[in-house]
Amino acid sequence: MQRKITKAVFPVAGLGTRFLPATKSIPKEIMTLVDRPLIQYAIDEARAAGITEFIFVTSRGKSALEDYFDDAPELESALKAANKTALLETLQSTYMESGAIAYVRQNRPQGLGHAVWCARRQIGEEPFAVILTDDVIAAEKPCLQQMVEAYTETGGNMVAAMEVRPEKTSSYGVLDIAEDRGAIVRAKGMVEKPKPGEAPSNLAVIGRYVLAPSVMHNLNRKRIGAGGEIQLTDAIAEDIEAGVPVYGFRFRGQRYDCGSKAGFLQATVAFGLAREDLNAEFAQFLHETMALREAAQ
């Protein structure tokens, strides 16, 4: 039986330069899809998967992110006085128990692998999850929960994976597949951002991982990879060479790349249409907007 996954690392040290000037004053992770910040989607997904310890790898200028999970007694009192029960419950759902979140600093940006390595003392010798907040996944059963359930059967390391167009593989870590079992594939290698035409498959790794402590040991070597950075993909691939299995998991759900402006807008539309309180008005607006656009052409 595999050890239960109770710890998750959230690498949130990035500057969010693609969203300037908004990210000049607020962390990208606080930007909202409809009425919830990106980090809330990630935390809710982790909780659904049984995570109880949350490790944020931060950097300078992220104090608003840390404050977000604190109690807000003045706001809570105002909502109580106004008898706004539903809003009060929503507010309270953002609170995190004292001691549940640990914050560690990444002093210089040296890649995703380095960011994860910064949490080594908090992880110790336990298996752990990694969630990238840029990847928001709409799913009936949260993606990380799907992975943790599959991990209980496989052990080893597991990465969330999805098919991408061949011309897009250079933007991802890509699996070299040894055995394809449908939802689960066993990898014989991983390549970070392969050059066009050199990808071993079109099965790309996206921002959800369930990792053995041996990956953290590999990161201790601080080997420089693609882009002159310490790549998490390389550390996972080292486990394959050492005989520790690595699996790709084809999750059930729709992934949105909220690290890009187009992806963020797509997610906003999708999540807005999924809300019962917004669907009718928002769908009508989109329909009218597209009709006007078509008429103008």
CATH number of the CATH domain containing 44: 3.90.550.10
Instruction: Note down the domain range covering 280.
Output: 260-297
Query: Do 148 and 278 fall within a single domain?
Result: no
Written as six digits, the tokens of 276 are 């019962």
Mean pLDDT of 146-165: 93
Per-residue pLDDT at 139: 95
Query: Could you tell me which residues are beta bridge partners of residue 177?
Result: 187
User: Are 142 and 202 in the same domain?
Assistant: yes
Mark whether 156 and 291 lie in a shared domain. no
What's the mean per-residue pLDDT of the chain?
Answer: 90
Whether 1 is in a domain gets the answer: no
The residue among 288, 137, 136 whose CA lies nearest residue 280 is 288
131 closest CA partner among 18, 250, 237, 44: 44
Residues 38 and 171 in one domain: yes
CA dihedral sign, ordered 262, 265, 271, 276: negative
Tokens coding 291: 């009709």
Tokens standing for 261?
């402006």
Examine the domain organization and report whether 248 and 177 are in the same domain. yes
Cα four-point dihedral sign 164, 168, 171, 175: positive
The mean-pLDDT minimum among 14-18, 123-127, 277-281 falls in 14-18
pLDDT at 162: 94
If asked whether residues 201 and 219 sit together in one domain, one would say yes
67 occurs within a structural domain: yes
* Backbone dihedral angles phi then psi of residue 178, each to the nearest 5 degrees: -95, -35
**Domain membership flag for residue 272:** yes
What is the amino acid identity at position 37? P
Position 247 in a domain: yes
**pLDDT tier at 225, thresholds 50, 70, 90:** confident
Q: 221 pLDDT exceeds 80?
A: yes
User: Residue 128 is encoded by which pair of tokens?
Assistant: 């752990």
Query: Span 221-240, mean pLDDT?
Result: 86
- The burial of 196, by beta-carbon neighbours within 10 Å (0-12 exposed, 13-18 middle, 19 or more buried), is given as exposed
**Domain annotation covers residue 232:** yes
194 pLDDT more than 70: yes
Q: What is the mean pLDDT of residues 211-230?
A: 86
Q: In this predicted structure, what is the pLDDT of residue 109?
A: 80
Q: Are residues 17 and 161 in the same domain?
A: yes
Please give the average per-residue pLDDT across 208-224, as a whole number: 91
Residues 40 and 113 in one domain: yes
Contact 67, 37 (CB under 8 A): no
What is the mean predicted confidence (pLDDT) over 131-144? Answer: 95
Is 2 part of any domain? Answer: no
Asked if 38 contacts 107 with a C-beta cutoff of 8 angstroms, the reply is no
Q: Is residue 82 part of a domain?
A: yes
Query: Does residue 94 carry a pLDDT above 90?
Result: no
Tokens representing 248 are 């790709």
Q: Does one domain contain both 115 and 241? A: yes
Indicate whether 153 and 140 sit together in one domain. yes
Position 61 pLDDT exceeds 80: no
Q: How many domains does the structure of the chain reveal?
A: 2
Q: What percent of the chain has pLDDT over 90?
A: 56
Whether residues 63 and 196 share a domain: the answer is yes
Q: Is the pLDDT of residue 262 over 90?
A: yes
Based on the fold, state whether residues 248 and 194 are members of the same structural domain: yes
Find residue 57's DSSP bridge partners: 11, 104
Would residue 91 count as lying in a domain?
yes
210, pLDDT greater than 90: yes
Q: Smallest Cα–Cα separation from 192: which of 249, 234, 151, 230?
A: 234
Per DSSP, helices labelled H in 183-250 are 213-219, 232-241
Query: Which is nearest to 208 in space by CA: 162, 177, 164, 176?
Result: 162
